[in-house]
Amino acid sequence: MSNLKKYNLFILITSFAKLLVEIFIPLLLFDKGFTIERIILFLIFKYAFCILIIPFTLKLGNKYSYTKLMLISSILFTFTYIYLNILTKHVFSLVFLALIFSTYLIFYWLGRHIYALTIIEDKKTTDNVSLYAMFSIIGGIPATYIGAKILNTFGFVTLTIIVFILMFISIIPLIKIKDINIKTKEKLNLKKVIHTFPKRNYLFIIIEQLRYISISIFPLFVYIYVKKEFNFLGLINIISGIGSVIYIYILSKKMDKNKKDYLKASSILLGVVYTLKINIINPSIFLAIIFIEGLAKSALDTIVLRNTYAYGKNYDAPSYIGFIELLNNISRTLILLIFYILKLDLKIIIIISIVGIIFNAFIKFDDGKYGYTQSK
């Protein structure tokens, strides 16, 4: 089995495991009596802790291995959800939840992205990233619905144990990946990336975090205003993923053929779909809109990740991914802090995010010498 196939197997299993339970965190906090304001505060703490943990994780990963950190992330993942089940309404409990959740996230995502950037071939970035996206979607399509069924039937502890076993198993394909060196060839040099990264890419990534924030809080919006059932969210995930895999495959071929990323069209389409979502609360019509969202969202996820990885080929993987994750989390923290200070409700936050998504359609991401920019 090739390294790429081993990595995709890892993506398939972890995507299924994570989506069994991860989407329910804001909803479970809401059910425990936390206000929307407190849930936003939890997200602020989560991303702020990520900023602090990233440099520490880079040093550990470079010294020992990112695979070992991802093994630890499986344990932290499980502990996060066990603690969530016994969480009290005290703010310090929320802070501690954010801390362990952030540590799991950084240990997992830094390793996942660094592996990906190391494995992908310079001239096959679009093909490789589209495969990652397809395996993520395939793994996630049934996950939320199954997770909801297990949660409703057997309870939170059973679901957590299943997730832990799957997360632990998922590391096996990574351990078997050979002949790559994911440690930086030189001393970690975030300053080099900071000073040479294109200014327009800075702007794009900062605004892109509005889309990420909307993805994080939309399940809560649906749970409160459309249908208060975990199973309904699982059904949304299935419908959203049905057309995504085929669409991504077609899109990736078209992108390489025309040397174009279709970022503008995908961003505008997603902005329109999100506008419809927040104004329609009929469950049946909402599900029809979700199918269209699945096409636009998965396309945009693939395009953004492909462009980010393409430019990342200019640097060593740990320094570049560390920089991107720092920029992502600093942006998310500051944006959410502004929302928190202004005491904006969920719908207003989503509307602002929609404006950001559409605005980003007109910022051309520079994908560097390994991307489409230099091939025209």
Instruction: Give the H or E element holding residue 71.
Output: helix 66-85
Q: To which H or E segment does residue 8 belong?
A: helix 3-21
Question: What's the whole-number average pLDDT of the chain?
Answer: 84
Query: Average pLDDT for residues 338-358, to the nearest whole number?
Result: 94
| 98 or 16, which is more confident | 98
Residue 153, burial from CB neighbour count under 10 angstroms (0-12, 13-18, 19+): exposed
Is the C-alpha dihedral spanning 228, 329, 97, 72 positive or negative? positive
d(CA 302, CA 325): 17
pLDDT interval class at 356 (50, 70, 90): very high
Whether 148 and 235 have beta carbons less than 8 Å apart is answered as no
Half-sphere exposure of 272 (CA within 13 A, CB side): 10
* Radius of gyration, alpha carbons of the chain: 20
Structure tokens at 65: 């291995």
| Residue 296 and residue 273 in contact, taking contact as beta carbons nearer than 8 Å | yes
Four-residue CA torsion sign, 244, 245, 248, 250? negative
Residues contacting residue 315 through CB under 8 Å, at least 6 positions apart: 192, 193
Q: What is the pLDDT of residues 194-234, one digit of tens each?
A: 889 999 999 999 999 999 999 899 989 989 988 888 888 88
Amino acid at 265: A
Contact 81, 21 (CB under 8 A): yes
On the question of pLDDT at 375 being above 60, the answer is: no
Q: What is the pTM of this model?
A: 0.89
Look at residue 178 in the predicted model and tell me its pLDDT: 64
Of 72-76, 251-255, 327-331, give the lowest mean pLDDT range.
Answer: 251-255
pLDDT over 90 for what percent of the chain? 31
Q: Does position 156 have pLDDT exceeding 70, yes or no?
A: yes
Between 369 and 147, the higher pLDDT residue: 147
Asked whether residue 183 carries a pLDDT value surpassing 60, the answer given is no
Does pLDDT of 24 surpass 90? no
Q: For residues 139 and 17, what is the distance between their CA atoms, to the nearest angstrom?
A: 8
Specify the residue for token string 């078997």. 176
Comparing CA positions, the residue from 126, 117, 30, 146 lying closest to residue 318 is 117
Residue 1 has pLDDT above 70, yes or no: no
pLDDT of 88 above 70: yes
Q: Quick one: which of 101, 81, 332, 328 has its CA closest to 214? A: 332
Tell me how far apart the alpha carbons of residues 234 and 147 are, in angstroms, rounded to a whole number. 8
Query: What pLDDT was estimated at residue 182?
Result: 60
Eight-state DSSP code of residue 34? -
| pLDDT tier, 37 (very low <50, low <70, confident <90, very high otherwise) | very high
Residue 187 above 60 pLDDT?
Answer: no
Q: Where are the beta strands (DSSP E) in the chain?
A: none
Q: Which two tokens stand for residue 371?
A: 């991307």
Confidence of residue 372 (pLDDT cuts 50, 70, 90): low
| Residue pair 293/273 in contact by the 8 Å Cβ criterion | yes
The string of pLDDT tens digits covering residues 278-337 is 888 888 888 888 888 877 777 788 888 888 988 888 888 889 999 999 999 999 999 999
> Residue 160: its pLDDT value, please?
81
Mean pLDDT comparison of 74-83, 141-150, 237-246, 334-343, highest-scoring range: 334-343
